[in-house]
Chains A and B, each alone.
Chain A
Amino acid sequence: MAASTDQADGASGEGPLWEVFTQEKQGAPHEHAGSVHAPDAEMALQNARDVYARRGDIVSLWVVPSSAIIASSPGESGPFFDPADDKPYRHPQFYKTPRGVRVY
C-alpha cells in the first residue's frame, strides 16, 4: 500500500496514486494487489487491468484513491487491538463440551 498522501497530487504528470484490489474468482474476497498512477478513476481502472489482470485470472477490480485509505498506526497497534486480547471466550475452544458429543 502506498505510504504517502502528499505524493498523490499528480504533480509528476502521471496522476495521483490509486490502490488496486483484485478478485480472483466469484465469491472470493477482493485483495490488495498494488497501486497505479492515473489522472482519473476510469484510467485508473484501465491501468489496473493492464498491470494486474494480464492473464484472465481476475473477475473484478476495485481502484481507490490512496489518499482515501485510513490505516491503523503500527506504533499504536498494541493498545488499539488489545480489547480483543483478553476475550478467549470469543473462540470456540474456550467452551467445554461433554466427551463424545459432536458439537460442530
Chain B
Amino acid sequence: MAATPTREDNASNAAFEARIAAGETIEPKDWMPERYRQQLMRMMSQHAHSEIVGMLPEGNWITRAPSLRRKMCLLAKVQDEAGHGLYIYCATETLGVDRAQLIDQLLTGKAKYSSIFNYPTLTWADIGVIGWFVDGAAIVNQTVLAKASYGPYARAMVRICKEENFHKRQGFEIVATMASGTPGQHAMVQDAVNRWWWPTLMMFGPSDANSPNSAELLRWRVKRFSNDELRQRFVDLTVAQAQAVKLTLPDPKLRYNAETKHWEFGEIDWAEFKQVIGGNGPCNRERLAARRAAHDNGAWVRHAAAAYAEKQRRAGAASAA
C-alpha cells in the first residue's frame, strides 16, 4: 500500500506543505496527509466516472449518425471516453484503492459524476453541441489539471488533453455544418445550444462562495484556478465561436465588459444544479441503470477470461512438472 502514514505528525505535514508550496509533484509512495489522499480519491474517481457515464448520452446516437464518416468519428470519440475513464481509474488506484471498489461506488450511487451527463440527447445536433460545449469545458478544466500537484493525475490529464482536441473539433464541425445548412438544420442546432448552454456552465461546479472543497484543493495545488475563473474562461472562449457560426447563446444578460475584457453572463439556476447533482436530473436513473446493466452483462466475459487464464496456468504448471 502506498505510504500509509503511520503518524501524521506536524513535521510531516509541514514538510508536505513546503513541497506543495515549492511546486513539487507528489508521487504515490510519498508521504501525504490522509485528507489530501481522500480529496484526490473523491475528485479523481468522480472524474473517471464522468468519462464512463459520459459515453452514454453520445452512445445513444452511434447507430443513427447521419453518415458513415460521422459514425466512425463518434465511435472513436466514445471509445476515447472509455480510455480516458481508464487512465483516471488507473491514476486513482495509485492512491491505494482498487478500481472494482470505485466502480462499485458508482453503481451503488454512492459516488457522483458530472451533472451534465444527466441530460438527454434529443437530436443529432446535441452530439455536435456536446463536443463543442461539454468537451470544450472539459478542456478548459483539464488543461489546468494537467499541472495538478499529484503526479499520476497530472500525467493522465496530459494524455487526455492531447486526445480531447479532436472531440471538440468533431463537435464544432457538426455544429458549423448544421448552422450553415437549411433553416430547419439551423433551428435544430440552435435548439441544442439553448438546452446545453446552462447545464454546461454548471459543469464547472458551484460558484466560489459555495464551493466547500475549493479552497483546500487550491491550496494543495490540485486545482490551480477557481470554478468561477474557469467558467469565465470558457464563456470568453465560446462567445466568439458562437458568433462565428451565427448561433445565439440563450442569455439576454450576456454582454462584453470592455474594462475587464470579459463576457458577463446571467445568473445560473443553482436550484436546477442541486436537483441534478442530488439524483433528480432528467436522466440520472436511466444512466445508472444503463451502467449497471452493462456491468452485469459483462460479467460472463470477465469470468471467462479469468477461467481461461487459470486453465492456461494449470496447463503450464503441468507441462513444467
Contacts and interface: CB of A to CB of B under 8 A. Distances in A.
B90 A14 contact: no
A6 interface: yes
A7 B98 contact: yes
A39 interface: yes
Nearest to B83: A51
B29 A34 contact: no
Contacts of B8: none
Nearest to B311: A40
Interface stretch (B49-57, B114-122, B176-184, B302-310): B302-310
Interface in A68-90: 71, 73-75
Contact of A3 (B31, B95, B159, B299): B95
Given A13-B100, A37-B99, A54-B83, A3 B28 contact: yes
B305 A39 contact: yes
B158 to A, nearest CB: 11
A15 B96 contact: no
Interface string A2-18: 11101100111111010
B271 interface: no
B11 interface: no
B98 A74 contact: no
Interface in A31-73: 33-40, 43, 50-52, 54-55, 71, 73
A3 B2 contact: yes
Given A43-B309, A55-B163, A36 B28 contact: no
Given A6-B1, A51-B83, A51-B87, A73 B305 contact: no
Nearest to A55: B163
B97 to A, nearest CB: 8
A80 B3 CA distance: 18
Contacts of A38: 305
A4 B215 CA distance: 30
Given A36-B86, A51-B87, A74-B3, A3 B309 contact: no
Contact of A14 (B27, B99, B156): B99
B191 interface: no
B80 interface: yes
B93 A7 contact: yes
Interface in B56-94: 76, 79-80, 83, 86-87, 90-91, 93-94
Interface of B: 1-3, 27-31, 76, 79-80, 83, 86-87, 90-91, 93-96, 98-101, 152, 155-156, 159, 163, 299, 302-303, 305-306, 308-310, 312-313
Closest 5 CB pairs of A and B: A3-B2, A12-B100, A39-B309, A40-B309, A35-B90
5 contacts: A2-B28, A3-B2, A35-B90, A71-B29, A74-B29
